[in-house]
């Protein structure tokens, strides 16, 4: 009989904790949303302990924990500090829900998928590496991606291809993000996919330019390319969804991709060091686990019983095992509950309103070159631009001297970036525009 995880921990000297987890992380204040479904954005801003002396336009880089998330982290930390063996009960004991299952249920409701399709990971980089490294690749196959993706995506692909004798090919989807169109990008992808293409790696929202890809249209191209293929040679669509996840009114599981990878410590407002992989149930068997998992008892039970692991990989087997910052991972639920309370359409509308204002006004500035598309369906929450006569670093430094925190894009060709999250007010957007006009003058 397979040895259970609980038995294993007991043999190691860990007994079940006396205290049981009976409460849930506290919800956000009821005043955030009025009975008429209007959000009090001033109250939302108060959830974040951001320095009030600055306008914060780089929160998509690493978000400040909002109050419900801080409280959840503190509650879990206190419980673990009081009795670290409570971990066994929280994650493995029979007879009551496990915290990781509650976290995945909250994520599943937001992405539009199922809990058993989700792997929990520390961040987007790790998630991408686990998916690509686990791909069942054969020599002669290729991974197709674009010239526009981030270092983490490109390196995850390169390292996986090197290990498996596969090749990597990069294509331009456009000749300039500000001028890109859905038809052009779809046609370029259609022409690039060949029978050797085992996977296509795309980024939903490019942090280099702010361009949002028309993911459903691109997913249709991949679907068409799979017509007539054997299942073992199916072309998989793998999406870095980080900068659309939490600021666009789209459910990840409905985009048409096979794998969707995103950290939750940016637009989702989750704890630092947390992320997800959502994968279609029929896509997970195309991968192999890389790190031993503690999330599922089955791999451990088969190891203990001297049995081989069933070859059809499941999501839980891909979640990395080992000990980690449990209070942060469990508090992810509080971040998704906050989004649930605010409502994804309202959050997305607010982000679109604020950043749309940035794009419209920058487009009128003669000394400013806007690199983010004007079309709302091709943009999200990041606005990239140049100011004539200034480097991106100089733009950011001069804005900071005026108490405005912007950023530069970490790519071979870099631009200045501003990004208004829901913690930013319309007045702060106007103040920033006034300072950019002064720079451009």
Distance, in Å, from the CA atom of 235 to the CA atom of 136, rounded to the nearest integer, reads 11
pLDDT at 40 over 50: yes
Angle ∠(286,202,422) on CA atoms, nearest 5: 115
**Where is average pLDDT lowest: 43-47, 85-89, 294-298, 408-412?**
294-298
Q: What is the pLDDT of residue 23?
A: 42
Distance, in Å, from the CA atom of 210 to the CA atom of 58, rounded to the nearest integer, reads 13
Q: At 378, list the tokens.
A: 């091709």
Helix (H) or strand (E) run with residue 206 in it: none
Q: At 354, list the tokens.
A: 């604020």
Q: What is the pLDDT of residue 25?
A: 44
DSSP conformation class of 306 = T
Q: Are strands 275-279 and 259-263 parallel, antiparallel or unpaired?
A: antiparallel
Q: At 37, list the tokens.
A: 């479904």
Beta-strand ranges (E) seen in 149-203 are 167-171, 197-203
CA-based end-to-end distance of the chain = 76
Q: At 69, list the tokens.
A: 């998330």
DSSP conformation class of 264 = S
Q: What is the pLDDT of residues 140-149, one digit of tens each?
A: 999 999 999 9
Domains in the chain (CATH in brackets) are 102-340 (3.40.640.10), 344-440 (3.90.1150.10)
Sheet with 236-240: strands ordered across: 118-121, 275-279, 259-263, 236-240, 197-203, 142-146, 167-171
Q: What is the pLDDT of residue 6?
A: 44
Q: What is the pLDDT of residues 58-69, one digit of tens each?
A: 999 999 999 999
Q: What is the pLDDT of residues 359-400, one digit of tens each?
A: 999 999 999 999 999 999 999 999 999 999 999 999 999 999
Residues with Cβ within 8 Å of residue 36, at least 6 apart in sequence? none
DSSP conformation class of 280 = -
Q: What is the pLDDT of residues 148-186, one digit of tens each?
A: 999 999 999 999 999 989 999 999 999 999 999 999 999
Sign of CA dihedral 360, 349, 119, 291: positive
Distance, in Å, from the CA atom of 361 to the CA atom of 402, rounded to the nearest integer, reads 19
Say what the pTM is.
Answer: 0.93
Average pLDDT, the chain: 92
């Amino acid at each position: 009989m397979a040895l259970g995880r609980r038995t294993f921990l007991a043999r190691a000297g860990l007994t079940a904790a006396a205290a049981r987890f009976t409460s849930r992380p506290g919800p956000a204040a009821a005043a955030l949303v009025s009975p008429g479904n209007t959000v009090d954005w001033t109250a939302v801003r108060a959830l974040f302990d951001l320095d009030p002396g600055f306008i914060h336009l780089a929160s998509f880089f690493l978000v400040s924990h909002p109050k419900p998330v801080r409280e959840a982290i503190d509650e879990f930390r206190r419980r673990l500090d009081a009795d670290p063996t409570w971990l066994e009960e929280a994650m493995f004991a029979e007879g009551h829900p496990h915290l990781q299952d509650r976290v995945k249920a909250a994520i599943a409701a937001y992405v539009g998928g199922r809990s058993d399709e989700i792997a929990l990971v520390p961040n987007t980089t790790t998630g991408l590496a686990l998916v690509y490294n686990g791909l069942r690749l054969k020599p002669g196959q290729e991974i197709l991606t674009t010239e526009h993706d981030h270092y983490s995506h490109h390196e995850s692909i390169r390292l996986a291809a090197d290990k498996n004798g596969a090749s990597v090919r990069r294509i331009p989807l456009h000749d300039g993000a500000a001028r890109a169109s859905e038809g052009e990008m779809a046609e370029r992808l259609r022409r690039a996919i060949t029978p050797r293409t085992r996977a296509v790696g795309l980024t939903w929202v490019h942090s280099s330019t702010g361009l949002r890809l028309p993911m459903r249209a691109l997913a249709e191209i991949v679907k068409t390319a799979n017509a007539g293929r054997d299942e073992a040679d199916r072309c998989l669509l793998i999406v870095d969804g980080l900068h659309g996840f939490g600021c666009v009114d789209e459910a990840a599981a409905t985009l048409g991709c096979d794998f969707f990878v995103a950290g939750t410590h940016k637009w989702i407002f989750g704890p630092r060091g947390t992320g997800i992989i959502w994968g279609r149930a029929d896509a997970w068997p195309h991968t192999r686990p890389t790190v031993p998992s503690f999330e599922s008892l089955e791999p451990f039970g088969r190891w203990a019983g001297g049995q081989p692991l069933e070859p059809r990989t499941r999501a839980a087997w891909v979640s990395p095992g080992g000990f980690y910052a449990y209070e942060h991972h469990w508090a992810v639920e509080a971040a998704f509950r906050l989004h649930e309370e605010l409502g994804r359409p309202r959050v997305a509308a607010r982000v679109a309103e604020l950043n749309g204002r940035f794009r419209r006004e920058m487009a009128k500035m003669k000394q400013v070159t806007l690199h983010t598309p004007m079309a709302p369906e091709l943009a999200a929450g990041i606005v990239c631009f140049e100011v004539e006569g200034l480097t991106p670093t100089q733009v950011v430094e001069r804005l900071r001297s005026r108490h405005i925190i912007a950023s530069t894009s970490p790519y071979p060709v870099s631009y200045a970036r501003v990004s208004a999250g829901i913690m930013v007010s319309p007045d702060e957007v106007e103040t920033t525009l006034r300072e950019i006009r002064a720079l451009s003058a």
